[in-house]
Amino acid sequence: MSQILDGNRVRDLIKAECGPRVQRLHERAGRPPGLAVVLVGSNPASQVYVRNKTKTASDLGIYSETITPDPAITTEGLLKLIRVLNGRPEIDGILVQLPLPGHIDEQAVLLEVAPEKDVDGFHPLNMGLLATGRPGLRPCTPAGVIQILKRHDIPMAGRNAVVVGRSTIVGKPMALLLLAENATVTICHSKTKDLAAVCRTADILVAAIGRAAMITADYIRPGAVVIDVGMNQVTDRAEAERIFDAAKLEAFEKRGSLLVGDVHPGDMARLASAWTPVPGGVGPLTIAMLMQNTVEAAERRTGCAPDA
């Protein structure tokens, strides 16, 4: 019987742990942690993500504000805005919702965020701290994966971990975090030769690719732990038939689309010893880790760390 790794439960635990830390900050620093979210343009998915982030912040007693500059704002204009947020003492975390409109230099903007307020963990300084094993703000999604594994008592030390995907947001920091847990890590990408064979060496397989149900039975070693980071919307009927069982196909027919990860759900459930469902696996962790990073940034900036 394989184990479903319940991301919603881990999310709730992490959020519950933030509560007393927010309270302590109130008592000791005289203010809540503060999060500024910068949203440029009207990408509907981004709007939903930002609403979910600020709603969660508010539920936890974290002050948040959403800044929506004119969509025509230039890179220089956005850099100025970030500098203002960097200088505001009551703001502990700055999150620039991606993607930014094409005319804006995304890398320049992310580089401008003060590393101690970089709650997304994307700044090269925070990446460097991660790579060199020093404390710092970690990227939320891969940090959430580590929490899922730890809180389900899945050992990482000495195990072969294969990460498919090498993005700065997920794949690379995921590999570094697994390495920090003493896993033996292999990183794969679109140029990897015989990907299925490499994946079959994994005790822990993490898929962060962005391709609907690409990882099928021949990529999964029976008994492996499989973490599916992918979030893909399936709209094609033939593709849906390849991926979903009868019950899910019925839901697909009704809605016209359905969310799926990068791993074939049926193959994963059949072969893995433990696995994250989509939805309900990795997804819920990203916002919880953002909240945890905001609290941590506030603790560091105010000198109110739990053991201080």
Instruction: Tell me which residues touch ligand NDP (CB under 6 A).
Output: 141, 164-167, 169-171, 188-192, 195, 208-211, 229-232, 262, 282-283, 286
Q: Which two tokens stand for residue 32?
A: 């809540």
Residue 196: CB minimum distance to ligand NDP, A: 10
- Residue placing its CB nearer to ligand NDP in the complex, 34 or 171: 171
CA–CA distance, 169 with 140 (Å, rounded to integer): 8
Residues 6+ apart with CB under 8 A from 127: 121, 168, 172, 173
End-to-end CA distance of the chain: 45
Residues 6+ apart with CB under 8 A from 162: 185, 186, 188, 198, 199, 201, 202, 204, 205, 206
Residue 295: CB minimum distance to ligand NDP, A: 19
Residue 71: CB minimum distance to ligand NDP, A: 23
The amino acid occupying position 141 is T
Residue 237: CB minimum distance to ligand NDP, A: 21
Which residue minimizes CB distance to ligand NDP? 167
CA–CA distance, 277 with 269 (Å, rounded to integer): 9
- Residue placing its CB nearer to ligand NDP in the complex, 81 or 208: 208
250 CB neighbour count, 10 Å cutoff: 11
Catalytic residues: 53, 97, 120
* C-beta separation of 181 from 174 below 8 A: no
